[in-house]
Amino acid sequence: MKCSPESRLTDIDVRSVSPALAAYTQNTLLRLWERTELSPRDRDIVTIAALIARNQTVQMAHCMDRALDDGVKPGEVSEIITHLAFYAGWDNAMSAVAVAHAVFHQRGVTPDKIPPAEGTRLPLDEDAEKQRAAAVERNFGAIAPGVVRYTTEVLFRDLWLRPALAPRDRSLVTVSALIASGHVAQIPYHLKRALDNGLTEGQASEVVAHLAFYAGWPNVFSALPVVKDVFETRAK
Amino acid sequence: MKCSPESRLTDIDVRSVSPALAAYTQNTLLRLWERTELSPRDRDIVTIAALIARNQTVQMAHCMDRALDDGVKPGEVSEIITHLAFYAGWDNAMSAVAVAHAVFHQRGVTPDKIPPAEGTRLPLDEDAEKQRAAAVERNFGAIAPGVVRYTTEVLFRDLWLRPALAPRDRSLVTVSALIASGHVAQIPYHLKRALDNGLTEGQASEVVAHLAFYAGWPNVFSALPVVKDVFETRAK
Amino acid sequence: MKCSPESRLTDIDVRSVSPALAAYTQNTLLRLWERTELSPRDRDIVTIAALIARNQTVQMAHCMDRALDDGVKPGEVSEIITHLAFYAGWDNAMSAVAVAHAVFHQRGVTPDKIPPAEGTRLPLDEDAEKQRAAAVERNFGAIAPGVVRYTTEVLFRDLWLRPALAPRDRSLVTVSALIASGHVAQIPYHLKRALDNGLTEGQASEVVAHLAFYAGWPNVFSALPVVKDVFETRAK
Q: Quickly state the pLDDT bin for C155 (edges 50, 70, 90).
A: very high
Q: How confident is residue C13, by pLDDT bands cut at 50, 70 and 90?
A: confident
Whether the predicted model's global pTM rises above the 0.90 cut = yes
Q: What is the pLDDT of residue B12?
A: 62
Q: Check pLDDT > 50 for residue C1.
A: no
Mean pLDDT over B36-44 rounds to 98
Cα-based torsion angle of the residue sequence B140, B146, B151, B157 in order, rounded to the nearest 10 degrees? 120
Q: Which residue of B55, B117, B140 is in closest CB contact with A20?
A: B117
Q: How far is CA B221 from the centre of its chain?
A: 18
Predicted confidence at residue B182, as pLDDT, reads: 98
Angle between helices A74-88 and A167-180 (to 10 degrees): 50
Min CA distance, C95 vs chain A (Å)? 16
Which of A209, A214, A219 is closest, CB to CB, to B90?
A: A214
**Residue B1: per-residue pLDDT:** 42
8-state DSSP, A109: -
Which residue does chain C place closest to A100, by CA atoms?
A: C17
pLDDT for res B13: 86
* Chain A residues with beta carbon closer than 8 angstroms to that of C231: 143
Rounded distance between C-alpha atoms, residue C104 and residue C115, angstroms: 14
b/e map B53-72, b = 16+ CB within 10 Å: bbbbbbbbbbbbbbbbebeb
Q: What is the mean pLDDT of residues C65-91?
A: 97
pLDDT computed for residue C11 by the predictor: 60
Which residues, 6+ apart, have CB-to-CB distance to C100 below 8 Å? B17, C64, C77, C78, C81
pLDDT at B97 over 60: yes
For the four alpha carbons of C199, C52, A94 and A84, in that order, the dihedral sign comes to negative
Predicted-complex ipTM score:
0.95
**Chain B contact set for C143 (CB, 8 A):** 201, 205, 224, 227-228, 231
Question: What Cα–Cα distance (Å) separates residue C68 from each residue in C3, C65, C85, C203, C208?
Answer: 11, 5, 21, 21, 23
Give the integer Cα–Cα distance in Å for B207 and B209: 5
Instruction: Give yes or no for a contact between A140 and A13, defined as CB atoms under 8 angstroms apart.
Output: no
Calpha distance C62→C2 (Å, rounded):
9
Return the residue of C nearest to A119 by Cα: C20
Chain A residues close to C221, C-beta within 8 Å: 147, 185-186
Residue to test with chain B: of A33, A34, A35, A217, most B Cβ within 10 A: A217
Give chain C positions within 8 Å (CB) of A154.
Answer: 24, 28
Contact B181 A218 (CB under 8 A): yes
Which of B56-60, B76-80, C18-22, C199-203 bottoms out in mean pLDDT, i.e. has the lowest? B56-60
Quick one: closest CA in C to A153, which residue? C28
Which ranges of chain A have pLDDT less than 70?
1-12
Statement: residue B201 has pLDDT above 50: yes
Which pLDDT score, from 0 to 100, does residue A236 have? 85
pLDDT of residue C58: 86
Contacts of B186 (CB under 8 A, 6+ apart): A218, A221, A222, B178
Which of A21, A37, A214 comes nearest B82 by C-beta?
Answer: A21
**Are B208 and C144 within 8 A, CB to CB?**
yes
Instruction: Determine whether the interchain pair B91/A58 forms a contact, defined as Cβ–Cβ distance below 8 Å.
Output: yes
Look at residue C66 and tell me whether its pLDDT is greater than 70.
Answer: yes
Q: What does pLDDT average to over chain B?
A: 95
The confidence score (pLDDT) of residue A13 equals 86
Nearest to A160 by CA among A233, A52, A87: A87
